[in-house]
Chains A and B, each alone.
Chain A
Amino acid sequence: MAVTKKTIGSTSSNSKTTETISTNSGWLEFSKHIMTGISYMIPILIMGGLIGAISQLIPYVFFNIDPSVSILDAINSGKYDGVSFVMLQLASIMEIFGFTLFGFAIPIFTAFTANSIGGKTALAAGFIGGYIATKPVAMLSLLDGKWITKAPIASGFLGAILIAFIIGYFVKWLNKKIDMPHDWLAFKVTFLIPLISAFACLVLMVFFITPFGGWVNTLIRDLLQAAGSAGQFAYAFVLAATTAFDLGGPVNKAAGFVALGFTTEKILPVTARCLAIVIPSFGLGLSTLIDRKLVGRSVYDKQFYQLGKTAIFLGFMGISEGSIPFALERPAFCIPLYVTGAIIGALSAIAMGAIQWFPESAIWAWPLITGILPYILGLIIGSTFIAVVNVFYRNKLIKDGKLVVNE
């Protein structure tokens, strides 16, 4: 069992482990810091996402403007006046506002990841680092004998993770290593460490992380473009599997992190993830609705029928946690089943032409999907697969006497 015994304190890092945890405790710490950052980033994504989604609904759903026409072009086209003109203006403001909020997601992530590692000073340094990861510092370059400033390619999420960890541990290390008389504490924490951390941020971001991250981002983009549709399907396959796997747990969030980077930079759409978030919930929920029609008996304990409806409802809200009770009840069968269902559903939707760039799977984001019909078809295919296989499997278990259901 994973139990770690710790003595909490600023100086004591001697965490004694009681049992067999030492093998993965490093990974656990790592994931805890990332999860902390992600948990603070999520509210920003939700706020930015909601405002952004509403701004897109106005022109592309209410006014039926072609999605390739930007809001600004629609305003300039002169076709709209009066109330629609004001609505479009409002949409434009909301779009910009929403994307401004999105811009804060990465700095918030780095700030709180670094804070989780190294405390308040690291929080500030992490925020700076994250900001530069999205908006790189302009570099001087010589053009036709004149020096100009030019912003390099952003290092994005990759740069954000790197700087969060490096600066977090660096600040922690500084706090520990710089030993000063107590009278000098104020000097140390309000001047010396902030100065060194900010300078470290500058050097790391400008000379190492931005060039490296920008290079990797360009490389990935080129690779995926070269691989064409095969690359897209491979990506969708992995994304769907990792997203569904632990229903909103660490693997899911890590996958989301990568996918978010790709979709905000318009490299690859997030369609597979949006579907894989909700397919397990729809599928498992559906099995509680169709079992009596399909095999003529209940295949779950009584309390699961309420949980099934909750799971479907949460699925419409884009939340996968509703499936957790089902997964815990019989994990060895249930997890492979819904992962397979998510992959089947996501791949068939994408093969039929569904594309979603917007990282949200709740029902209110559906109007933003290109090819809503293939999307819903994929959703139905994946969910039905899970529900039908699940019901027949459980029915067989009951017949074999391996499963007792309390109706």
Chain B
Amino acid sequence: MSKKMIALCACPMGLAHTFMSAEAIRKAAVEMGYDIKVETQGADGIKNELTATDIREAGIIIHAVAVTPLGMERFEGCEVYEVGLQDIIKNPKGIIKEIEEDLAQ
């Protein structure tokens, strides 16, 4: 299994939750030994944009979103785990473990 994980974060205002969830995912993923890249779609636009290569190489794709993000066509055909922003901020490791368990099945 590839140990690369990518995530996309977006909240309605693009001020707080977007960046809090991005930070939570980044921290948890690094501690769990993943190669991580997180795109944020905040009020300041798209930062750290995920490229086609990132998406192709990723073993796990997480969408931590409360809105429909921009550029969804990039993920055409991909399996994506969509999670609530509050949940991932509170318990990033638990959610990543849950995804790992699901992938192991």
Chain A interfacial positions (CB closer than 8 Å to B): 1-10, 18-19, 28, 31-33, 35-36, 38-39, 42, 115-116, 248-250, 253, 319, 321-322, 324, 328
In the docked arrangement, what's the CA distance between A249 and B79, Å? 27
In the docked arrangement, what's the CA distance between A110 and B77, Å? 28
- Interchain nearest-CB distance for A123 vs B (Å): 12
- Interchain nearest-CB distance for A39 vs B (Å): 4
A-B pairs under 8 A by CB, number: 89
Interface magnitude class on chain B? 20 to 34
Given A1-B87, A32-B65; A7-B77 close (CB under 8 Å): yes
- Interchain nearest-CB distance for B36 vs A (Å): 18
> When the two chains form their complex, are residues A321 and B79 in contact, meaning their CB atoms are under 8 A apart?
no
B59 beta carbon closer than 8 Å to chain A: no
B98 beta carbon closer than 8 Å to chain A: yes
Q: Which segment of B11-19, B26-34, B46-54 sits at the interface?
A: B11-19
- Interchain nearest-CB distance for B104 vs A (Å): 12
A-B contact pairs, 14 of them (CB 8 A): A1-B98, A5-B79, A7-B77, A8-B77, A8-B78, A9-B76, A18-B102, A28-B84, A32-B68, A38-B12, A42-B12, A321-B15, A321-B17, A322-B16
Given A32-B66, A39-B67, A116-B68; A3-B99 close (CB under 8 Å): yes
- Interchain nearest-CB distance for B18 vs A (Å): 10
* Residues of chain A contacted by B11 (CB below 8 angstroms): 39
Which listed residue, B17, B78, B89, B94, touches A1 by the CB 8 Å rule? B94
In the docked arrangement, what's the CA distance between A5 and B62, Å? 9
- Interchain nearest-CB distance for B95 vs A (Å): 6
Which listed residue, B15, B67, B75, B90, touches A8 by the CB 8 Å rule? B75
- Interchain nearest-CB distance for B67 vs A (Å): 4
Q: Which residue of B lies closest to A40 (CB)?
A: B67
- Mark contacts of B67-105 with chain A using CB atoms, 8 A cut-off: 1 yes-contact digit, 0 otherwise: 110001001111111111011011100110011001000
A8-B78, A116-B68, A324-B17 known; 4 other A-B pairs, CB under 8 Å?
A: A7-B77, A10-B76, A18-B98, A36-B12
In the docked arrangement, what's the CA distance between A116 and B68, Å? 6
B58 beta carbon closer than 8 Å to chain A: no
* Residues of chain B contacted by A32 (CB below 8 angstroms): 65-68
In the docked arrangement, what's the CA distance between A265 and B60, Å? 48
* Residues of chain A contacted by B79 (CB below 8 angstroms): 5-7
- Interchain nearest-CB distance for B79 vs A (Å): 6
* Residues of chain A contacted by B20 (CB below 8 angstroms): 324
- Interchain nearest-CB distance for A164 vs B (Å): 13
> When the two chains form their complex, are residues B68 and A248 in contact, meaning their CB atoms are under 8 A apart?
no
* Residues of chain A contacted by B14 (CB below 8 angstroms): 39
> When the two chains form their complex, are residues B77 and A9 in contact, meaning their CB atoms are under 8 A apart?
yes
In the docked arrangement, what's the CA distance between A116 and B12, Å? 13
Which listed residue, A3, A8, A324, touches B83 by the CB 8 Å rule? A3
Nearest first, the 5 A-B pairs at minimum CB distance are A321-B16, A116-B68, A8-B75, A36-B67, A39-B12
